[in-house]
A and B are shown apart, each in its own frame.
Chain A
Amino acid sequence: MPTDTARSIMQEAQRRRQDRSPDPRLQGMSGSYRFDIEGVGSWRFEVRDGIATITESTGQADCVVRCDEPDFVRIAQGQQNLLTAFLQGRVQIDGDYALAQRLYGFVRVTRERAA
Chain B
Amino acid sequence: MADSNISILEGNTFVVSDRRGDVDASPTDTHGLFHNDTRFLSRWILTVDGQRPNVLSVDSLNYFATQFFLVPGTGTVYVDSPLSIVRQRAVGQGFHEDLTILNHTAEAKDVDVRLEADCDFADLFEVKDALAKKGERYRRLEEHRLVLGYRRERFVRETWITTDAAAAVDDRGLGFRVHLEPHGTWKAGIDVVTARTGIGAVTTRPKYAHGDDAPRPNMAASLEAWLAEAPKLVTSWPQLAQTYRRSLVDLAALRFFPLVAPGGALPAAGLPWFMTVFGRDSLFTSLQALPFSHELARTTLTVLGMRQGLIRDDFRDEEPGRIMHELRGGELTAFEERPHSPYFGTADATQLFLILLDEYERWTGDADLVRSLEPQARAALRWIDEWGDRDHDGYVEYERRNTSTGLENQCWKDSWNSIVFADGTLAPMPRATCELQGYAYDAKQRCARLARELWNDPAMAERLTREAADLKRRFNTDFWIPERGFFALALDGKKRKVDSLTSNIGHLLWSGIVDEDKARACVDHLLGDGLFSGWGIRTMAEGEGAYNPIGYHVGTVWPFENSFIAWGLRRYGYRKEAAQVAMGILEAAAYFDGRLPEAFAGYRRAETRFPVEYPTACSPQAWSTGAPLLFLRTLLGLEPVGGRLLVDPAMPKTLEQLELLDIPGRWGRVDAIGRGRIDLGV
Chain A interfacial positions (CB closer than 8 Å to B): 24-25, 27-28, 81, 83-84, 86-90, 97-98, 100-102, 105, 108-109, 112
Contact = CB atoms under 8 A, between A and B. Distances in A.
A89 B149 CA distance: 15
A27 B154 contact: no
A65 B429 CA distance: 42
8 contacts: A84-B335, A87-B155, A87-B198, A87-B333, A88-B334, A88-B335, A101-B307, A109-B311
* Dominant secondary structure at the B interface: loop
Interface string B299-320: 0000000110011010000001
A88 B375 contact: no
Nearest to A25: B310
A28 B198 CA distance: 29
Chain B interface size, as a band, is: 20 to 34
Contacts, number: 54
B2 interface: no
A98 B154 contact: no
A81 B341 contact: yes
Nearest to A91: B154
A89 B154 CA distance: 5
A73 to B, nearest CB: 16
Interface in B231-267: 259-262
Contact of A102 (B306, B334, B341): B306
A84 B334 contact: yes
Contacts of A102: 306
Given A24-B375, A25-B379, A98-B262, A87 B306 contact: no
A88 B311 contact: no
B222 interface: no
Contacts of B154: 88-90
Nearest to B342: A83
B260 A101 contact: yes
A88 B157 CA distance: 10
Interface string B327-342: 0010001111000010
B153 interface: yes
A87 B36 CA distance: 11
B156 interface: yes
A89 B375 contact: no
Given A88-B155, A98-B260, A101-B307, A28 B375 contact: yes
Contacts of A24: 375, 379
B201 to A, nearest CB: 9
B372 interface: yes
Given A25-B320, A81-B336, A102-B306, A89 B261 contact: no
B334 A27 contact: no
B311 A108 contact: yes
